[in-house]
């Protein structure tokens, strides 16, 4: 797939676009099927007030984290520390409300997002300057950030009663039946989607992911782009942390552990290739919604708890196999296209 950006014949890009579209469409279709099946089994899934709210609300935080993850994945890197960043910022959020009573909510948002951004920037700097694979660096910071969290939190815990009511209300409040959290996630998604598709900066992420060496030779500012990608991923995980605090109300030192896998899983299911250069934040977002909606739908369909993780595993493997098949087919077509010309 690395040849895709270096041989931009209009025919090929059109075909590529079609495949990409088909991919996101497929995931969307799967999501719709899951929702219809669950609703048929139990109309409350969609039509009760709580059901509708939870359908939109539950995936919102993961959507944010998955969008950040997708951006990093597209540059042929990975950010495994997002779960730890989310946990750390969630605890920071709680601490801010406890240690500075009356602090404006917007200030907490700004501080937490900035803090997440700094944590992301540390990842980015280590990856970009030390030239160590992101998998290793972020695996390290996954443990390091979690360690800091455990050190800081101990076995303390933020309880819902420590947080202001107006902040907790954010976690469930709705505007025209759409939860606030979902609106935040959608706004971020639209901005990120537009940026990745239409701006020079966004396209450079794809270029770097497709062929880092070529991107460097072409004179793209690879280091700066990598820093930006990790910064965005960290900041979005930070935003996720604030929203996590608002939604769940209880934060201990293990908040958000395992989220990195959900985020990577969501992105991969949504068609973001783990080897970079392919996919979109929209796909990752739909993947996140699908992942969590399946989790919620399976018990309603009467599938026991124990199978739910297995189903998620099958989805991820399926998505990767599909990726591979598409990649092979695409490569063949590109070769044909080259031979024809």
Question: Considering only residues 6-45, where is the footprint of another protein by CB under 8 A?
Answer: 42, 44-45
Residue with smaller CB distance to another protein, 125 or 300: 300
> CB of residue 203 vs another protein: minimum separation in angstroms?
35
d(CA 178, CA 56): 7
Stretch that binds another protein, among 98-106, 153-161, 194-202, 233-241 (CB under 8 A): 153-161
Residue 336: left if φ>0, alpha if ψ -120 to 50, beta else—which one? alpha
Q: Which of 94, 116, 117, 171 binds another protein (CB under 8 A)?
A: 171
Element housing 175 (H / E): strand 174-175
Q: Which residues pair with 141 in a beta bridge?
A: none
Question: CB–CB of 81/123 below 8 Å?
Answer: yes
> CB of residue 114 vs another protein: minimum separation in angstroms?
24
Q: Which of 21, 50, 98, 336 binds another protein (CB under 8 A)?
A: 50
> Does 58 contact another protein by CB under 8 A?
yes
Residue with smaller CB distance to another protein, 2 or 172: 172
Residue with smaller CB distance to another protein, 300 or 311: 300
> CB of residue 317 vs another protein: minimum separation in angstroms?
22
Residues 6+ apart with CB under 8 A from 242: 89, 90, 93, 108, 109, 112, 113
Number of Cα atoms under 13 Å in the Cβ half of residue 333? 16
The SS3 call for residue 131 is coil
> Does 54 contact another protein by CB under 8 A?
yes
Q: Which of 13, 159, 166, 199 binds another protein (CB under 8 A)?
A: 159
Which tokens sit at 38?
A: 């669950």
Element housing 178 (H / E): strand 178-179
> Does 166 contact another protein by CB under 8 A?
no
CA torsion sign, 217 to 221 to 225 to 226?
positive
Q: Which of 305, 339, 340, 341 binds another protein (CB under 8 A)?
A: 305
> Does 66 contact another protein by CB under 8 A?
no
> Does 311 contact another protein by CB under 8 A?
no
Q: Which residues pair with 175 in a beta bridge?
A: 178
> Does 154 contact another protein by CB under 8 A?
yes
Question: Considering only residues 247-286, where is the footprint of another protein by CB under 8 A?
Answer: 248-252, 254-255
305-340 helix and 259-269 helix, angle to the nearest 10 degrees: 40
- The closest alpha carbon to 112, from 133, 145, 90, 127, belongs to 90
> CB of residue 151 vs another protein: minimum separation in angstroms?
8
Stretch that binds another protein, among 49-57, 105-113, 199-207, 321-329 (CB under 8 A): 49-57
Question: CB–CB of 68/234 below 8 Å?
Answer: yes
The SS3 call for residue 124 is helix
Question: Considering only residues 89-128, where is the footprint of another protein by CB under 8 A?
Answer: none
Question: CB–CB of 89/319 below 8 Å?
Answer: no
Residue numbers of the site for another protein (CB under 8 A)? 42, 44-45, 48-51, 54, 58, 150-151, 154-157, 159-161, 171-172, 244, 248-252, 254-255, 292, 295-296, 299-300, 305-306
């Amino acid at each position: 797939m690395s040849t895709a950006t270096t041989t931009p014949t209009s025919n090929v890009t059109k075909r590529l676009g079609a495949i990409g579209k088909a991919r996101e469409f497929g995931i969307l279709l799967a999501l719709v099927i899951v929702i219809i099946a669950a609703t048929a089994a139990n109309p409350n899934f969609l039509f009760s007030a709580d059901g509708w709210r939870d359908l939109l609300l539950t995936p919102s935080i993961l959507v944010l984290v998955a969008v950040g993850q997708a951006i990093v994945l597209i540059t042929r890197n990975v950010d495994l520390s997002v779960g730890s960043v989310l946990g750390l910022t969630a605890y920071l959020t709680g601490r801010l409300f406890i240690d500075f009573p009356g602090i404006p909510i917007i200030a907490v948002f700004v501080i937490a997002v900035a803090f997440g951004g700094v944590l992301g920037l540390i990842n980015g700097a280590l990856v970009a300057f030390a030239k160590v694979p992101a998998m290793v660096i972020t695996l390290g910071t996954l443990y390091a950030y979690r360690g800091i969290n455990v050190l800081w939190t101990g076995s303390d815990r933020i309880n819902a009663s420590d947080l202001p009511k107006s902040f907790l209300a954010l976690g469930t409040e709705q505007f025209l039946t759409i939860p606030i959290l979902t609106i935040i996630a959608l706004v971020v998604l639209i901005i990120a989607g537009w940026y990745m598709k239409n701006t020079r900066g966004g396209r450079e992420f794809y270029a770097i992911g497709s062929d880092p060496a070529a991107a460097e030779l072409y004179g793209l500012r690879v280091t700066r782009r990598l820093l930006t990608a990790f910064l965005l991923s960290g900041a979005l995980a930070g935003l996720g942390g604030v929203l996590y605090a608002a939604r769940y109300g209880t934060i201990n030192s293990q908040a958000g552990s395992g989220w990195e896998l959900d985020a990577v899983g969501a992105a991969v299911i949504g068609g973001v290739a783990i080897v970079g250069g392919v996919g979109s934040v929209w796909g990752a977002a739909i993947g996140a919604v699908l992942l969590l909606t399946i989790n919620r739908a399976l018990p309603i369909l009467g599938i026991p708890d124990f199978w739910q993780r297995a189903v998620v595993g099958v989805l991820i493997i399926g998505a990767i196999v599909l990726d591979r098949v598409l990649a092979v087919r695409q490569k063949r077509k590109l070769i044909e296209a080259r031979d024809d010309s």
